[in-house]
C-alpha cells in the first residue's frame, strides 16, 4: 500500500493527530490495578508536570472487568467500584480515561471480553466517559480457530478485520470521540489495514518487557514501517518501560529517543506516584517529546548502519538519533556526516539530552555515544 492509499483510508474520527501520550496500568500494576492506583496516577501526572508536557490518557488495561448483568451489560469488578466516578475524577484533572477489552469472549487475563456485546460495551464506555479503547485480540484467536480449524491465513485475517471493524462501528455509533487502539501483536501486517478498520494506532509486535534486549529488539525492528504511519494512524511498538527498573538510564533514554523518532505513542508504564528524578528527566524531556509530537507526523527511518535514525520535522529541521545499541563494546567516537542526513553548508546543531546548543557546524560532528545509549540532535539550517 502506498502513502496515498493509506491516507485515503485513515480514520475520520479526527483524533490522534499526533501520537497519543499518556500512561497505562499494565507494565507496572498488571492484574492488580485498582481505582485508587488510577486516581493516584492522575494526581501524579498533574503534580509532576507530565500532563503539562502532553501526557493526557490515563489508561486502565486488563482486569477491571466484572460479570455481565441480566441484560448483558458489562460491569466492573470490586477493584473498580464506579467507573463513571473514576472517569469524572480523571476528567476533573484535565486528563482523559482509557479502558481495555477484547473482541473475544475472554481477555488475555481471562476476564469478560466484548464478543457478542460490542455495541452494548461501546455504549457503556461512552456512558462512563471513556476516551480511549485498547482492543486486544486474546481469545478471539480461539474463535478464529473454531471457525476454521485449518487456519487458512486469509480466512483468519478477514475474521480479525471484521471483528476490529465491528467495534470501530460500535464506537462511532456512540457519538463519543474514542481513540481506537488495536492490539493484535502485528499479525497479518496490521499496518496495511489498521486505518481501514478505524484504528488510530496498532501494536506492531508482541509484548515489550522491561529488559534492554526486548526493548531494543522491538524498537530497532520498526525500520521499514514508516510509510504506514501518519496523523490519526500510528504504528505502536508497545508501551514505555522507563522507570520500571530493568534497564539503566542510558537504556531508558534509548527507549524514549527511539520511540520519539518512531512517532510512536508515548504511553508511560511505571508507577508515577514513585518516580525518581532521573526517570522524570527522561519521561519529561520536552525537547524529545517535541520530536515525537511534531505536527508533520512523519515516522523516522534508519539510515544506518550503525543505528542512525532521521526524522523530518516542521520547518525543514531534522531530528537525528545515533544509538550505541551494543551493550558490551567500548563506546568509541562516532562521526555524523551532515551530507548523510541531507544537509550541505552550515547547520545549527542542538543536543536534546544535554539541552545544549552545539553551535553552527559544517560537514560533520564527532561525539561518543554511551553503551546502550543515544545522542539525539535537532539539526536545522
138 half-sphere exposure, CB direction, 13 A CA radius? 21
CB burial readout 52-85, b (16+ within 10 A) else e: ebbbbbbbbbbbbbeeeeeeeebebeebbeebee
Question: Which helix (DSSP H) or strand (DSSP E) does residue 101 occupy?
Answer: strand 96-101
To 10 degrees, what angle do helices 140-147 and 153-174 make?
130
Return the residue of 118, 136, 210, 241 that touches ligand GLA, per CB under 6 A: 136
Task: With contacts defined by CB under 6 A, name the span among 68-76, 101-109, 220-228, 342-350 that binds ligand GLA.
Answer: 101-109
Number of helices (H), then strands (E), in the chain: 13, 18
Per rule CB under 6 A, is residue 108 in the interface with ligand GLA? Answer: yes
Q: 134 vs 378, which CB is nearer to ligand GLA?
A: 134
What is the spatial distance between Cα 297 and Cα 234, in angstroms, rounded to a whole number? 9
SS3 293: coil
Q: Which candidate in 136, 236, 238, 271 is catalytic? A: 136
Cell of 314: 516542521
Residue 136 known to be catalytic: yes
Q: 136 vs 241, which CB is nearer to ligand GLA?
A: 136
Residues 109-128 that bind ligand GLA (CB under 6 A): 109
Nearest residue to ligand GLA, by Cβ distance, number only: 108
Cβ at position 62, least distance to ligand GLA in Å: 4
Cβ at position 30, least distance to ligand GLA in Å: 8
Residue 351 known to be catalytic: no
What is the spatial distance between Cα 131 and Cα 95, in angstroms, rounded to a whole number? 10
Count of chain residues binding ligand GLA (CB under 6 A): 9
Return the residue of 26, 89, 212, 252 that touches ligand GLA, per CB under 6 A: 26
Task: Give the x-and-dash track for 45-84 against ligand GLA (CB under 6 A).
Answer: ----------------xx----------------------
Q: 187 vs 249, which CB is nearer to ligand GLA?
A: 187
Cell of 207: 509484548
Nearest to 45 by CA among 300, 266, 213, 228: 266
Q: 107 vs 255, which CB is nearer to ligand GLA?
A: 107
Q: Which candidate in 43, 207, 340, 351 is catalytic? A: 207
Q: 141 vs 183, which CB is nearer to ligand GLA?
A: 183
Q: What are phi and psi of 9, to 5 degrees?
A: -95, 0
Instruction: Report, as residue numbers or ranges, the catalytic residues.
Output: 136, 207
Residues near ligand GLA, by CB under 6 A = 26, 61-62, 107-109, 136, 183, 207
Amino acid at each position: 500500500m502506498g502513502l496515498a492509499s493509506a491516507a485515503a483510508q485513515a480514520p475520520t474520527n479526527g483524533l490522534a493527530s499526533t501520537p497519543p501520550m499518556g500512561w497505562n496500568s499494565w507494565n507496572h500494576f498488571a492484574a492488580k490495578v485498582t481505582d485508587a492506583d488510577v486516581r493516584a496516577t492522575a494526581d501524579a501526572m498533574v503534580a509532576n508536570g507530565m500532563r503539562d508536557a502532553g501526557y493526557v490518557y490515563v489508561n486502565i488495561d486488563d482486569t477491571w472487568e466484572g460479570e455481565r448483568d441480566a441484560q448483558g451489560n458489562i460491569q466492573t469488578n470490586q477493584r473498580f467500584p464506579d467507573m463513571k466516578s473514576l472517569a469524572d475524577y480523571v476528567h476533573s484533572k484535565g486528563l482523559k480515561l482509557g479502558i481495555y477489552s477484547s473482541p473475544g469472549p475472554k481477555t488475555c487475563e481471562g476476564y469478560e471480553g466484548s464478543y457478542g456485546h460490542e455495541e452494548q460495551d461501546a455504549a457503556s464506555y461512552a456512558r462512563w466517559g471513556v476516551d480511549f479503547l485498547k482492543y486486544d485480540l486474546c481469545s478471539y484467536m480461539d474463535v478464529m480457530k473454531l471457525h476454521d480449524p485449518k487456519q487458512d491465513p486469509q480466512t483468519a485475517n478477514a475474521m480479525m478485520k471484521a471483528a476490529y471493524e465491528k467495534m470501530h462501528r460500535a464506537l462511532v455509533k456512540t457519538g463519543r470521540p474514542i481513540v481506537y487502539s488495536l492490539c493484535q501483536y502485528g499479525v497479518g501486517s496490521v499496518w496495511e489495514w489498521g486505518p481501514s478498520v478505524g484504528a488510530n494506532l496498532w501494536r506492531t509486535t508482541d509484548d515489550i518487557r522491561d529488559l534492554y534486549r526486548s526493548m531494543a529488539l522491538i524498537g530497532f525492528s520498526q525500520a521499514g514501517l514508516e510509510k504506514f504511519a501518519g496523523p490519526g494512524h500510528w504504528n505502536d511498538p508497545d508501551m514505555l518501560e522507563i522507570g520500571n527498573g530493568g534497564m539503566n538510564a542510558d537504556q531508558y533514554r534509548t527507549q524514549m529517543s527511539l520511540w520519539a523518532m518512531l512517532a510512536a505513542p508515548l504511553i508511560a508504564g511505571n508507577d508515577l506516584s514513585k518516580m525518581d528524578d532521573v526517570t522524570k528527566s527522561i519521561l519529561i524531556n520536552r525537547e524529545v517529546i517535541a520530536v515525537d509530537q511534531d505536527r508533520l507526523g512523519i515516522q523516522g527511518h534508519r539510515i544506518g548502519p550503525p543505528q542512525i535514525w532521521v526524522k523530518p520535522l516542521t520547518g525543514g529541521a531534522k531530528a537525528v538519533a545515533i544509538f550505541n545499541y551494543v551493550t558490551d563494546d567500548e563506546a568509541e567516537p562516532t562521526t555524523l556526516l551532515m551530507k548523510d542526513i541531507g544537509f550541505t553548508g552550515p547547520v545549527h546543531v542542538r543536543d536534546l539530552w544535554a539541552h545544549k546548543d552545539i553551535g553552527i557546524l559544517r560537514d560533520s560532528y564527532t561525539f561518543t555515544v554511551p553503551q546502550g545509549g543515544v545522542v539525539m540532535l535537532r539539526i536545522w539550517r
